[in-house]
Amino acid sequence: MIPRMTTTGSLRGYRYNLQRSTFTLNKSITTVMTGRAFNSFAEDPTAAAESFHLRRAYLRTSSQYDLNESTVRRFEVAYSSMESVEKVIDTDPESKGAAYYAIIRALNDPDASGRNALGQEITAHANDMVQFMNGRYGDNFIFSGADALNVPLTWAPKANPDYDADYVPADPDKLTEDDLKKMNQYLTSDGEPTDDEFKAGRTLCYRGVPVDSDDPSDLEKLDYLSRGEKKYVDIGLGYDMNGGKVESSSVYNIALQAVDFLGGYGQETRTVTLPAYTDEDGTRHPEQSYTFDDIPKNIVSITDEIGTILQRCSPENGAFASTEDEARFNALVDAFEESSFRVKDRFTELTTQAQFLKNNQKQLENNAYTINEQIQGIDYVDPAAAISDFIFAKYCYDTALKVGNSVLSESLMDYMNFA
């Protein structure tokens, strides 16, 4: 049996289909206007979730990019500081203005009369290096490791190792030399006990710890600060954790330890042999060997001590204050040369690190572009396809309107004639 199609039924069907047609048209208009492939999770939950994953990756990369940029700037400033230090410690004998140039001159007996002045110049170089290494990037000291709010390198009065705060002399009215050793807190640059902070010699400290100390507890601290302390940042190296610890390869350490960049810390033993010579009185002095077990490793300490020894030389003829001074001077010069190599090695490392950061910056930028392209591919429609869909929807809608206007209105009623 042919189904009976009624006027009411036709109207209902028409209304339903017109409604659908309008809905489709409206949807295609929204798509063209927004350019978006979906406007809610419900339209495409998988694509929406993927899109948000990518957007999250994009934002994270963007944040990592900012942080990397800041790190690059920090390393550039560090590079600049180290460049200045390198100039000071340049071991090219022809490099005028460098500490080594002055040291070579001080080594040279013909220039001996100038040793006091050279000593002052060399001391100034030591101060310069400290200043360079105490530079800041923004509000942070660059070479302070993880203690960027505090100045890394400081000069402290030279401590008297025999000082005993609780010591009470046997006869306060007759102080012996031993009493004075125990009662005075500091030592002068000549090694004499003193209680006057301003007369005291000086010691370079890194974050409050003397860098040329041989005290095991100081060395333990410096060991940790130099090698154990890290300050990691997430610059997109694949942050990962293992056993509650951050994988060091997945983050970047931005802690730059001044002590590490200045040839190290602690002391070493050096033996020097002074050649045989005949003095002005014609006395023949045989060759003499000296062994020092307290030669600092840190280039600033070395430089400073060289300056101090030179300033102790005779102002008249530049003679060393003692043969031991001369021997120690020679030992320090050797130490300076070796230490400067270590400084240069670290500088080279710093250069490599700076370059890595610059490369990472480019990598992050590329990542962001790639992610953005992926987002575009997921979130947005091809305009041509969207417009085609819209045109087709509009065509359907227009047709539906025409159908409503021309077909539904006519029935047998319109042709009846009872006249």
Residues 336 to 365 in contact with other proteins, rule: CB under 8 A: none
Shortest distance in whole angstroms from residue 15 CB to other proteins: 9
Shortest distance in whole angstroms from residue 1 CB to other proteins: 10
Beta strands in 58-183 (DSSP E): 136-137, 140-141, 153-157
Tell me whether residue 7 or residue 348 sits nearer to other proteins (CB atom).
7
Shortest distance in whole angstroms from residue 122 CB to other proteins: 31
- Number of residues interacting with other proteins: please give it, by CB under 8 A: 83
Q: List the beta bridge partners of residue 193.
A: 187
Spell out, one character per residue from 385 to 414, where the chain touches other proteins: x when CB under 8 A holds, - when not. --------------------------xxx-
Q: Rounded to whole angstroms, what are the CA distances from 49 to 54, 312, 394? A: 9, 76, 31
Residues 24 to 53 in contact with other proteins, rule: CB under 8 A: 34-36, 38-46, 48-49, 51-53
Residues 4 to 23 in contact with other proteins, rule: CB under 8 A: 4-9, 12-13, 16
Return the structure tokens found at 322. Answer: 């003692």
Residues 50 to 79 in contact with other proteins, rule: CB under 8 A: 51-53, 55-56, 58-60, 62-64, 66-67, 70-71
Residues 188 to 227 in contact with other proteins, rule: CB under 8 A: 207, 209, 217-218, 220-221, 223-225
**Pick from 90, 147, 260, 326: which binds other proteins (CB under 8 A)?**
147
Residues 84 to 103 in contact with other proteins, rule: CB under 8 A: none
Distance CA 158, CA 12 (A): 102
Kindly state the DSSP code that residue 150 receives in the 8-state scheme: S
Distance CA 193, CA 186 (A): 6
Query: SS3 of 167, please?
Result: coil
Query: SS3 of 38, please?
Result: coil
Residues 226 to 245 in contact with other proteins, rule: CB under 8 A: 228-234, 239-241, 244-245
Cα-Cα-Cα-Cα dihedral of 294, 297, 301, 303, to 10°?
110
Tell whether residue 382 is a contact of other proteins (CB under 8 A). Answer: no
C-alpha 157 chain-centroid distance: 30
Write out the H or E segment, with its range, that includes residue 323: helix 323-379
Tell whether residue 165 is a contact of other proteins (CB under 8 A). Answer: no
Query: SS3 of 218, please?
Result: helix
Shortest distance in whole angstroms from residue 61 CB to other proteins: 10
Shortest distance in whole angstroms from residue 312 CB to other proteins: 34
Contact 378, 43 (CB under 8 A): no
Tell whether residue 308 is a contact of other proteins (CB under 8 A). Answer: no
Shortest distance in whole angstroms from residue 300 CB to other proteins: 21
Tell me whether residue 216 or residue 286 sits nearer to other proteins (CB atom).
216
Write out the H or E segment, with its range, that includes residue 132: helix 115-133
Kindly state the DSSP code that residue 257 receives in the 8-state scheme: B
**Pick from 31, 144, 213, 267: which binds other proteins (CB under 8 A)?**
144
Residues 247 to 286 in contact with other proteins, rule: CB under 8 A: 251, 254
Shortest distance in whole angstroms from residue 68 CB to other proteins: 10
Distance CA 244, CA 252 (A): 17
Query: How many Cβ atoms sit within 10 Å of the Cβ of residue 283?
Result: 8
Backbone dihedral angles phi then psi of residue 254, each to the nearest 5 degrees: -105, 10
Tell me whether residue 170 or residue 412 sits nearer to other proteins (CB atom).
412
Characterize 117-133 residue by residue with b for buried, 16 or more Cβ atoms within 10 angstroms of its Cβ, and e for exposed: bbbebbbebbebbbebb
Shortest distance in whole angstroms from residue 10 CB to other proteins: 8
**Pick from 185, 363, 372, 374: which binds other proteins (CB under 8 A)?**
372
